[in-house]
Copies of this chain bind each other. A is one copy, B any other.
Amino acid sequence: MKVHVPRKELSDTLGYVERVIPNRISNPGLHLIKLELSERGLIFSGSNMDIDILAKLSADVEGSGTFALPAQVFSQVVKALPGDLVTFDFESSELEIAAGGYATRLQLVDAAAAPLLHFPDDYEGSLDAEQLGRALGNVRYAAAVAEYQAIFRGVKLELQDGRTRAVATDGFRLAYYNLAETSGLLGDIVIPARSVEEITRLLTHAHRVKGGEVALQLSAPQGGNEGSGGSFGQLSMDIDDYKLNVKLMEGSFPDYERIIPNEFPVNITLDAKVLAETVSRVAVMADRTANNRVDFFIKGGVVQITAEGSYGRSQEALPVSQEGSDPEMALAYNAKYLVDALAPLKGELRLSFSGTTSPSVVVDLSDSGYLAMVVPLRTG
């Protein structure tokens, strides 16, 4: 059974599939990649329990069959191949991979040893792939890292009629991104932050290659009742030649909207990049064991930013466009949280202060979809 396939396309496709598949052999079968051969080409699939991935690749295939082999070693061989064209020759228990003068024989594994994966046939929803990638990618930083923070280690996706929103928070900061698009699905789901990285990588890639839409489908937890109590087990995506099943987190976000302030006595407008660079620079002196504290003093159209640590102190003044009352407003932030919140922004921002101890809000004046909230540090 022979397959001829262009080397570059093979290597690119495998790159996406192989990233998902774990290298460790401790979990039987999970380190395997499955290859399905048919006259339409090759289908690769694998899983790490959190994400199932399937990728189609056009190829010149003689015959049909299903095989499995260790994903990492297969991928290493493919990355090392010379030339433009690769030939696979499937024999009883071995796969010969040949390219140029080079040939490798890999031991095949019984395809039944690979995980059994089900991808939906129908996708009831869809969104613009680039937009969904931007929404998830722009808020992912605000998700919690620590194990005990449970549901906050995920990114919530609100699929509503007339709006789609991605939101993440770790209790000290929050970010959301609104899409005016309707996905065609209804439900609130929480995607593990680690899976968000794989999703955004694939959405970005597929968008670059083809543009267009990603098809979406929600389904019940495996073995559970569909939609019982509004909970879903899995988000499935179909884009370009790739399909993903992403396992969702159980539980729900508390009502975060009530903690976002909506009255701001002081607002300043300035360039996002200038603010991020200034905060980073001043924070060099900040004490990492004391929350990377930087102090803001806002008065008369100038923001004075200062930091102090065991080696000394630093300061910088920035002219800003200020609305709202003098006298001087003084508050402190974790510099890292502020810099993270500014990272998705390219142009002018508005930073709005609700008070010295209540949350501040960042909005992007060139992209109304994004909002970030940062809770000031307690001082004094």
Contact = CB atoms under 8 A, between A and B. Distances in A.
A112 to B, nearest CB: 19
A312 B94 contact: yes
A49 to B, nearest CB: 23
Nearest to A95: B312
A278 interface: yes
Interface stretch (A8-16, A201-209, A222-230, A281-289): A281-289
Interface of A: 70, 73, 76-77, 80-82, 94, 100-107, 277-278, 280-282, 284-285, 311-318
Contacts of A316: 100-103
Contact of A312 (B104, B281, B285): B104
User: So how many copies of this chain end up in the complex?
Assistant: 2
A285 B285 CA distance: 50
Given A77-B285, A285-B77, A104 B313 contact: yes
A90 to B, nearest CB: 13
Given A82-B281, A101-B317, A104-B314, 9 more contacts: A73-B312, A77-B314, A80-B281, A81-B281, A82-B277, A100-B316, A102-B282, A102-B315, A104-B285
Contact of A103 (B82, B106, B314): B314
B285 A102 contact: no
30 contacts: A70-B311, A73-B284, A73-B285, A76-B284, A77-B284, A77-B285, A77-B314, A80-B280, A80-B284, A82-B277, A100-B316, A101-B316, A101-B318, A102-B278, A102-B281, A102-B314, A102-B315, A103-B314, A103-B315, A103-B316, A104-B284, A104-B285, A104-B312, A104-B313, A104-B314, A104-B315, A105-B312, A105-B313, A106-B312, A107-B311
Contacts of A311: 70, 73, 106-107
A299 to B, nearest CB: 16
Nearest to A100: B316
